[in-house]
């Protein structure tokens, strides 16, 4: 089945307290592609942080003024090189600078990660169901680097209504043989796919993915399904 | 712009020496979506390895018979836990079992990684240009795990005709402020997106992505743009 990924335009600058679910639902409904059962909305972290007020003041004349906040937000520092700090956040994410971000926010401000991105996703799912009677999945995405490979990619930091990890262990491969792996992190793949249309600089904070396997539509959580504890991680 | 991801069906079981570019080009051309300038084809590693004869014999009655081959193919062992071996391959990829794979291959065989997946991608690009007069990008994808996060995702191990990493440093964000990061590994995001329609068990080894930013269509290489040397890696 063909997958379609639509950038959702028409979303205004986000302020604290705004009802993100209604805003996104309205933007989709008034678009040419609309909103239908089984759609998955990928929402970039920045607008979630803004709507939830997860922002802090920084000194706009000091390019390193957010660094003390990084130290405060991190529960563990994994590596340092120059200004780069690789952290583990309280959510269990491993990323640069505790996920604190200065791009696409007003000068003198920095965006923190949302308190609980699974909950943020769930609220959008519920609001859209309430307003439109439509069941969608929602993924909150953020841009992370990774070891071994250059370049950043978007990953899922929260989700609701669409699986984070799909377990294909035990299903047969095309030659009738049992597959040995394979737990696929479809939430990260959906976040990555969405970034291809959102870009970094274009002010498109949401993408709508249509055509997702209906078996993936279920209750879900990045915290429970994706975040690996240090004890099961071979690189911490 | 909307991105469309079509699974490419009608590709037969692959044997050594087969002309993969012609095969894939024919399958696309005879599909309802066809083949047009700027399309990106994501081709899973398994069929590339089969076409190039990058296969080895193993004892089908011994579930660990591929392990000596893993030790041989790896240039470095990073971690071991039980049967799991995290390796660095000669290509510079960090992955489980040196990328050796037993799923979707005949019993008694294991697939190695292609010798040079950038070259494999380039050959498909050239063949499709020769046969159809169409300029496409090609990504060779494989399924890798990663630290910190559970679940595997598809990444790019080779590419041609479409950027591996897009440099957004210096472009302005939506608020007119210079973006600080951002080199995005669009090749990995394309590989991840394609996996959403290929799945693991359905025998769909190729996806066609239509609507990719035309600025990304250029000469490219995973080896040069994505593989991070141990010296610049904070986790080796």
Query: Per-residue DSSP letters for B115-151?
Result: S-HHHHHHHHHHHHHHHH----EEEEEEEE--SSB-S
Peptide bond just before B182 cis, omega within 30 deg: yes
Best B46, B104, B174, B215 member to test A by mutation, with max A CBs in 10 Å, is B174
DSSP state of B164: S
Best B67, B74, B151 member to test A by mutation, with max A CBs in 10 Å, is B151
- Does the beta carbon of A217 lie under 8 angstroms from any beta carbon of chain B? no
pLDDT of residue A182: 82
Contact status, residue B168 vs residue B187, Cβ threshold 8 Å: no
User: B182 and A148 in contact by Cβ < 8 A?
Assistant: no
Q: Which of A86, A147, A189 sits opposite B153 (nearest CB)?
A: A189
Query: What is the pTM (predicted TM-score) of this model?
Result: 0.95
Answer positive or negative: Cα dihedral of A196, B4, B52, B216: negative
pLDDT of residue B201: 62
As a whole number, mean pLDDT of residues A120-130 equals: 98
Q: How confident is the model at residue B106 (pLDDT cuts 50, 70, 90)?
A: confident
- Does the beta carbon of B170 lie under 8 angstroms from any beta carbon of chain A? no
pLDDT of residue A171: 64
pLDDT of residue B178: 59
- Does the beta carbon of A2 lie under 8 angstroms from any beta carbon of chain B? yes
pLDDT of residue B177: 64
Q: Which is more confidently placed, A207 or A64? A: A207
Among B213, B4, B206, B39, which residue's Cα sits nearest to residue B129?
B39
Peptide bond just before A182 cis, omega within 30 deg: yes
- Does the beta carbon of B5 lie under 8 angstroms from any beta carbon of chain A? yes
pLDDT of residue B116: 98
The answer, yes or no, to whether residue B129 has pLDDT greater than 90, is yes
As a whole number, mean pLDDT of residues B15-29 equals: 97
Q: How confident is the model at residue B64 (pLDDT cuts 50, 70, 90)?
A: confident
What Rg do the C-alpha atoms of chain A give, in angstroms? 18
The answer, yes or no, to whether residue A203 has pLDDT greater than 80, is no
Using one digit for the tens of pLDDT, what is the confidence trace for A127-175? 999 999 999 999 999 999 999 999 999 999 999 999 999 987 666 666 6
Using one digit for the tens of pLDDT, what is the confidence trace for A166-180? 987 666 666 666 556
pLDDT of residue B184: 95
pLDDT of residue A103: 80
Q: How confident is the model at residue A224 (pLDDT cuts 50, 70, 90)?
A: very high
Residue B50 to residue B212: CA distance in whole angstroms: 28
Q: Which is more confidently placed, B190 or B198? A: B190
Q: How confident is the model at residue B104 (pLDDT cuts 50, 70, 90)?
A: confident
- Does the beta carbon of B93 lie under 8 angstroms from any beta carbon of chain A? yes
φ and ψ at B158, to 5 degrees?
-160, 155
Among B157, B129, B152, which residue's Cα sits nearest to residue B45?
B157
Among B164, B103, B174, which residue's Cα sits nearest to residue B137?
B164
- Does the beta carbon of B148 lie under 8 angstroms from any beta carbon of chain A? yes
User: B201 and A179 in contact by Cβ < 8 A?
Assistant: yes
pLDDT of residue A82: 84
Which value does ipTM take for this structure?
A: 0.95
pLDDT of residue A201: 62
Q: How confident is the model at residue B173 (pLDDT cuts 50, 70, 90)?
A: low
- Does the beta carbon of B174 lie under 8 angstroms from any beta carbon of chain A? yes
Residue B104 to residue B194: CA distance in whole angstroms: 18
Q: Give the CA-trace dihedral at B70, B75, B77, B78, to 10 degrees.
A: -130
Contacts of A153 in chain B (CB under 8 A): 184-185, 188-189, 192
Contacts of A196 in chain B (CB under 8 A): 3, 186, 189-190, 193, 212-213
Q: Walk me through the domains of chain A, giving residue ranges and CATH numbers.
A: 4-53+114-227 (3.30.1330.100), 55-113 (3.90.1660.10)
Q: Which of A84-93, B24-33, B40-49, B194-203 has the lowest mean pLDDT?
A: B194-203
Best B146, B150, B157, B210 member to test A by mutation, with max A CBs in 10 Å, is B150
- The nearest CA of chain B is from the CA of A1 a distance in Å of 7
pLDDT of residue B63: 77
Q: Which of B14-18, B114-118, B166-170, B226-230 has the lowest mean pLDDT?
A: B166-170
Q: How confident is the model at residue B49 (pLDDT cuts 50, 70, 90)?
A: very high
Among B165, B154, B42, which residue's Cα sits nearest to residue B95?
B154
Q: What average pLDDT is seen over chain B? A: 92
Give SS3 for A25: helix
What Rg do the C-alpha atoms of chain B give, in angstroms? 18
Q: How confident is the model at residue A33 (pLDDT cuts 50, 70, 90)?
A: very high
């Amino acid at each position: 089945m063909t997958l379609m990924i639509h950038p959702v335009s028409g979303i205004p600058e986000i302020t604290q307290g705004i009802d993100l679910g209604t805003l996104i639902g309205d933007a989709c409904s008034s678009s040419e592609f609309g909103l239908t059962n089984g759609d998955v909305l990928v929402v970039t972290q920045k607008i979630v942080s803004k709507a939830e007020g997860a922002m802090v003041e920084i000194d706009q004349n000091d390019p390193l003024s957010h660094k003390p906040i990084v130290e405060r937000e991190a529960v563990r520092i994994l590596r340092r090189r120059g200004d780069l700090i690789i952290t583990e956040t309280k959510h269990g994410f491993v990323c640069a600078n505790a996920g604190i971000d200065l791009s696409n926010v007003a000068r003198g401000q920095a965006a923190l990660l949302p308190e609980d991105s699974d909950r943020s996703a769930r609220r959008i799912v519920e609001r859209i169901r309430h307003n439109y009677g439509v069941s969608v999945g929602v993924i909150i995405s953020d841009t992370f680097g990774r070891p071994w490979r250059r370049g950043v990619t978007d990953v899922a930091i929260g989700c609701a209504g669409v699986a984070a990890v799909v377990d294909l262990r035990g299903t047969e491969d095309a030659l009738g043989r049992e597959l040995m792996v394979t737990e696929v992190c479809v939430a990260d793949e959906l976040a990555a796919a969405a970034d291809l249309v959102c870009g970094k600089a274009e002010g498109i904070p949401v993408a709508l993915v249509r055509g997702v396997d209906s078996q993936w539509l279920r209750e879900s959580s990045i915290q429970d399904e994706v975040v690996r504890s240090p004890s099961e991680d071979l690189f911490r």
